Structure 1
């Protein structure tokens, strides 16, 4: 049986897991769906009495029979690259057909997924993940989603300290004319800084929690790996992704209620893997969950890189649930 890894060509995180699986003698096939249809083709059939599609994926380096796949590691596949000679409307149609056909076929595989793309997509919806976390007993900061500037100002003004964190609701950020997206980092905002431009789309404002540090909790099956993240610059204290070089890490133990809440959260969202970010209040040590990343990075914490790699390999190999 073969572990299918779906990711782009340059993905150091997948490289770690693939190397571990190779060392264990587990067959691995790495494919990038973005290679379809130029360098990747397929054919699959189903008929009366069949409970699954039968067929073959034909890549640049090897072929893979669908029936061989025992687990799928869905990491960071790139977007479909359609033929450059197509017109704009034809390109959009062909890309939609690729999603429905090629991605749809992969999504139908009845095997162990880490994670299934439909579960990732569901968990990435912030209103869903925050409400689910709260139902699972985890503390979430006071949060408002709105396109009403007056309501946003009123909410922020009433918060302790009169300050909120403004965050993007979805992955990525605004897109430039050439199609490149730039990151939208977390920012601090006060009521008087909120303009009527808020009315143009949905915005998320979240209670600003003065923190002692952050904690990245990485869940692999039923195993939880946690590390304190201590910011060494003003920028990193607002959003640690802006200055990784200033960060220091320290593996830590989770409070019992956070451990229980994390297990309930993964069960509720039907995830086998997630990376969740917590703010630990400097006032009372209270843990606030602020983000659920169903496909988040984990290799940046040196002390946890090897154990998380091994845990993911165990999960894909079927050694744990």
Structure 2
């Protein structure tokens, strides 16, 4: 599949970028000195205004370029593409990184997703997920926002060798793959329509899956995304068994971060989610599909699949 030009540039580390060390609007904004335009608000003021005001988040098209800067021009001509020196400075500033995570958690809540553990990128459904998922699918510009968010989290993640890597704010590289795989699980569990041929499905296949810099991780996630096509039967209805749902997502999380005794307490929340998951078998085929949609709880491979996830997660993506 031919990737969109912006995803190709992202994967290639923006080889055509001509850095300008005099441009520092993003750095000034994230350090609380500059203001977002239009609106003339500093970052904390902007977040205070946007948080829990979903009508404002939906209708305001100028904030996303400031909260999630990338080395690309956006629709807000008053914003500035991220410069390499800005990315380095932001990723080494604990307060700036805290603001980035606050921005990310705000957008997750807007999409109906809650952060269970930010240090590991573990996600769960918010209480209002049904309404928020429906809103996501009916307002396609929010799909583009997810692409920007995935890129920005990757670009602004502190490198493992940086002094900031030992700070309580960890690497952000856990988050992009976790978000993609969480959304894929919602699709396979019949809560979020990411079917091939839909706008959202195209975003998943062509944009989101490409916003991972590690080649092996990108291939593995891509295989899982491709696997959902095997469930599409006649007339676009779903058949067959789920290959990656919430249960597999949380098994992957456990495999990715489990194994160390000091981490057991932090992973208790995953056990709670797994043991407390409500039984869901939508009689109407869930958010999409039909009577032959196959239900939301069937799994293919059981323990064998879970074991494979654990092995891959530990050897490839830690």
Rg comparison, structure with higher value: 1
- Greater RCO structure (CA 8 Å; 6+ sep): 1
Report which of the two has the higher share of strand.
1
User: Under a length normalisation based on structure 1, what TM-score does the superposition of the two structures give?
Assistant: 0.24
